[in-house]
Amino acid sequence: QQQVKQSPQSLIVQKGGISIINCAYENTAFDYFPWYQQFPGKGPALLIAIRPDVSEKKEGRFTISFNKSAKQFSLHIMDSQPGDSATYFCAASIMGGSYIPTFGRGTSLIVHP
Partner 1 sequence: DAGITQSPRHKVTETGTPVTLRCHQTENHRYMYWYRQDPGHGLRLIHYSYGVKDTDKGEVSDGYSVSRSKTEDFLLTLESATSSQTSVYFCAIRGGESYEQYFGPGTRLTVT
For 81, counting Cβ atoms within 10 Å of its Cβ (0-12 exposed, 13-18 middle, 19+ buried), the class is middle
Which of 19, 63, 80, 93 lies at the binding interface for partner 1 (CB under 8 A)? 93
Confirm or reject binding of residue 26 to partner 1 (CB under 8 A): no
Non-local CB neighbours of 77 within 8 Å, separated by 6+ positions? 18, 19, 20, 61, 62, 84, 109
The residue (of 41 and 113) whose beta carbon lies closer to partner 1 is 41
Q: Is residue 28 within the footprint of partner 1 (CB under 8 A)?
A: no
Residue 84 backbone phi and psi in degrees, to 5: -85, -10
**Using the rule CB under 8 A, is 98 a contact of partner 1?**
yes
- Is residue 74 close enough to count as binding partner 1 by CB under 8 A? no
Which of 34, 58, 66, 67 touches partner 1 by CB under 8 A? 34
